[in-house]
Amino acid sequence: MNSIIAALRFFFTHTLDGPDLARRLVRMKQIRKLPVVLSRDEVTRLLNATTCLKQQAALSVAYGAGLRVAEVSMLKVRDIDSERMLLRVERGKGGQYRNAMLPADLLKLLRQWWRLGHEQGVMHSDGWLFPGQHALKPISTKQLHRVVAEAAQSTGIAKRVSPHTLRHSFATHLLEDGIDIRIIQALLGHAKLENTAFYTRVATRTVRAVTSPLDKLGLFLPEPEAPPG
């Protein structure tokens, strides 16, 4: 709905030169749902349930670097900077460029995929990191969604998951590990800190680490143990 309102505002303001009409268009407040987050064990099961090395590597990039599904799809081999341990994201949201982290284990997995893909003749030094059915085209986001759904179903994960769930899990797990929220914001490529701060609502380990003021009152002492015999 808000996208329609934005389009009408542009139409009235710039096309019809009627800014007064545009002022009457009010954006609707949208209730943002909590994202689905996988536990670390569920992420492990999901990645191990993939049926080939290319699928496992692609989903590992989504989780290990926190990339959007479209960003994973559009990665090229040359975007891997193993010297600086970075992934260059050249087709991010809104056309933004940024650097994403490249964990050591992810680099090992990507090298395994490179060797296998090169042997199969589908990987080229200037080609796509994850080619689709045709080597000249990247894997589609639709296919990545299907891979995640099938892997989740095969492992018995009842949550409604998608490739973006891995990105949500990446951010939440970093937050639970005590990583500064502004660093997470930069890794995710968020323009606004409030978008990153939203993950504090699902960081359960962070919540569990906080001691409630009630516990410090000492009102509910444990019952004394009965004497033996």
Active site (catalytic) residues: 68, 93, 164, 167, 190, 199
Distance CA 108, CA 95 (A): 29
- From the list 159, 160, 169, the residue with the least C-alpha distance to 63 is 169
Q: Is 28 helix (H, G, I), strand (E, B) or coil?
A: coil
CA-nearest of 48, 52, 6 to 27 is 6
Query: Alpha carbon of 221 to those of 209, 211, 217, 226: distances in Å?
Result: 21, 16, 10, 15
Tokens describing residue 29: 């407040």
- Helices 104-120 and 53-64: angle between axes, nearest 10 degrees: 150
Distance between CA atoms of residues 150 and 47, nearest Å? 11
